Structure 1
């Protein structure tokens, strides 16, 4: 008969005498037991953050950046040279930063839509505040309302550039069409009162967006969709800008 050593097996781990496994570490929400066997309160559990929390944070970041850019737009009208001053007084001057912010930060179409609207409205508010500091009265209501409707379109188009197929073709059409359309508007309708430099820059940037989209889109037949869509959007944008002063500011 084997002699007993008189020692109780030590608890814990695979290396414990007799192969008896030790107690597992308490998981989140489980009761804690101290060295004397007293039961304490539950282990605090860290609840995972809802995906909308991260989305809201990204949208807020877009809005904050847009407020700053909107303020810079107002000062740009004062400080930019005459050749590029129209950049601070054009839809493209707000479309480009909005599209870039959404393209970099948004993860889904709903998020891109909200971020686009937040960007355009924030750009308008930032412009209004900076203009007030300059002693210029500006009512942001009209352009904020326009931004509520135009912002989601630009936001979704920018997010579509991250996708493939028809989504990429349509997103390319919208962004390229806006930039080319306003560039042509500047070169034709307001050519007598503004420098052509910025308008040509817009046409060049819009054309670059179109070329980049055409080179990436698959199947190749969708390149025709992107090209045709760009021409249609550019025509609609040109027409809208011709009619907007009549319908909104003179009506």
Structure 2
């Protein structure tokens, strides 16, 4: 459990701002095969998960830090983009961070916690993000991006589900990780469809 919330939160904010800025620069530096990492929801989700998990908060603390981290990533990206002479409006992805951040942060906290079922649910939620993004990348923007990163998302999701099921072992945990991964994939895929229709 997080014992020093303020220093931990400040560390998450600082790291998120720096990494958000780095993703802006990385869009022009990463090889084509991995370039989508710097321009995809799964990329920022993974960064948020790693930063939140690193401070090992409670579920509630993780939910708060998920918002803090995601929004700070967006702001860091915005500042770096402006420094590069690019105009970027953080409103949309900032709002996404406010909505998705609590789920992502709580999932990260659950994955590093000691309770079996929450850990399985957290892993399943993250796997769903990876699957939905991978499928979206291969099917919707596949003609303009390399398939390598999207395939890696799918492989990582399969490894996360399989590794979690093998580690936690209990039938309840296996059902939780599989069910949550499927549900998260369905919800996020629906969201992608709505966004595509709107834009």
TM over 0.5: yes
Match of 1:167 in 2: 118
In the alignment, which residue of structure 2 is the partner of 1:231?
182
Aligned equivalent of 1:190, options 141, 145, 148: 141
Alpha-carbon distance in 1 for matches of 2:111, 2:3: 24
Alignment RMSD, CA only? 1.7
Q: Which has the higher contact order (CA 8 A, sep 6+)?
A: 2
Name the residue aligned to 2:72: 122
* Distance in 1, Cα, partners of 2:14 & 2:118: 28
Equivalent in the alignment of 1:59 = 9
What stretches of structure 1 of length at least 5 have no aligned partner?
1-50
Residues 21-62 of structure 1: CA deviation (Å, up to 9, x unaligned):
xxxxxxxxxxxxxxxxxxxxxxxxxxxxxx998212101111
2:20 pairs with 1:70: yes
Q: Verify the 8 A CA contact 1:164 1:218 in the aligned structure 2.
A: no
Q: Distance in 2 between matches of 1:168 and 1:88?
A: 27
> In structure 2, what is the Cα distance between the partners aligned to 1:157 and 1:199?
22
**Which residue of the other structure, out of 87, 101, 108, is the alignment partner of 2:51?**
101
Q: Which runs of 5+ in 2 are unaligned?
A: none
Q: Is the 8 A contact 1:70 1:125 kept in 2?
A: yes
1:85 and 2:32 are equivalent in the alignment: no
Larger Rg: 1
Q: Does the CA contact (< 8 Å) of 1:161 and 1:213 recur in 2?
A: no
| 1:133-175 residue CA offsets vs partner (Å, 9 max, x unmatched) | 1110001111111101111100100111123332122111101
Pairs aligned (count): 198
